[in-house]
Amino acid sequence: MEGIPLPPKHTGELLKDVVAQARALPNEGAVADYIPALAKVDPNYLGLAVVELDGQVHTAGDAHVPFSIQSISKVFGLTLAMERMGDSLWERVRMEPSGQAFNSIMQLEWEHGIPRNPFINAGAIVVADTLVCRYSASRTAFTQFVQSLAQNESIQVNEQVWDSEREHGARNAALAYLMKSFGNIKASVEHVLDHYFYQCSLDMSCVDLARALGFLANRGVQPGTDEVVCDPRSTHRINAMMSTSGMYDQSGEFAFSVGLPAKGGVGGGLVAVVPDYGVICAWSPRLNPYGNSHRGMFMVRTLAEELGLSVYS
């Protein structure tokens, strides 16, 4: 970067332009259909938001419509767990890219039940286990944490999605039981999965998400409230893991073509952290074969290029 990025006054114009370009793209990919509740979402939603550290909010398209955050919830869960567990967390989950599809069970067997990182499902389930063990009411604690970060008390779980997740959660149950067999799940698998599916089923808008993750761009201090969410070392570590592992088995390509810490979810959301500047959140439900939002990738890449945001220079 040529020093701190100074986005042009017309950032809002740029967002509208990027959304229009995305809308004109051919319809590639399909809405996640592994659970019926997600498959019903209108594939044409398109939202984009940028929340800067100084509080400026830029939006375009459906940036205020809540959607299922799915795997983006892993960032919130990890933040909570890092604060509660300290470095002992890293005995139970590593920080290496997986080089595998996001829900691969093979690697977990090779590596004796220790997941590669907190952003693959197995890793997030271990993180959920630590929350279940540390909080008497982990779901409530999780929701309050996210509401507080997003400064929006109306954020809540989508019960229909939550039910659907539980009903179609066999593969995640397989991952959890495999880790249990290696001693790396402490609470009951049912309880842990209940929490995990719950946190995936929160509904949030692009603006909610971009605002909620501001602390990652601001060395742990939440912009707006000045609350200390975590120490700077933790935001560094979370950003680093998002950079190497946040986009499933497309993380390398995302670094190569965009160059920002990011996390995608199968609900079509995609958040990207720009250190010392702010947070971007894009949303479009159609997914590419890696499980990332097809148009979300396009929007974040275009924005990053236009504004010169990559961390890799």
Residue 158 in tokens: 């989508």
Taking CB under 8 A as the criterion, the residue among 1, 30, 39, 133 binding its own copies is 1
Interaction of residue 219 with its own copies, rule CB under 8 A:
yes
Q: For the window 80-119, what string marks contact with its own copies as x by the rule CB under 8 A?
A: --------------xxxxxxx---xxxx-xx-----xx--
For residues 4 to 43, the per-residue mask of contacts with its own copies, x marking binding by CB under 8 A and - elsewhere, is x---------------------------------------
Reported as type and span, the H/E element at residue 199 is helix 189-200
Active site residue ranges: 71, 74, 196, 248, 266
Q: Rounded distance, CA 211 to CA 213, Å?
A: 6
Distance CA 32, CA 45 (A): 14
By CB under 8 A, residue 245 contacts its own copies:
yes
Rounded-to-integer distance, Cα 225 and Cα 13, Å: 27
Task: Out of 29, 123, 261, 296, name the contact with its own copies by CB under 8 A.
Answer: 261
Gap between the Cα atoms of 91 and 87, Å rounded: 8
165 appears as a binding residue in the annotation: yes
Nearer to its own copies, 11 or 103 (CB): 103
CA angle 204, 210, 211 (to 5 degrees): 90
| Segment holding 134, helix H or strand E | helix 121-134
Provide the residue type at 53 as one letter: L
Residues 281/269, Cβ–Cβ less than 8 Å: yes
- Three-state DSSP class for residue 267: coil
Please give the residue ranges that form the binding site for its own copies (CB under 8 A): 1-4, 94-100, 104-107, 109-110, 116-117, 170-171, 173-178, 180-181, 189, 216-217, 219, 232, 235-237, 239-241, 243-245, 249-253, 255-257, 259, 261, 275-276, 310-313
Which residues are annotated as part of the binding site for substrate? 71, 121, 165, 172, 196, 248, 266
Which residues are annotated as part of the binding site? 71, 121, 165, 172, 196, 248, 266
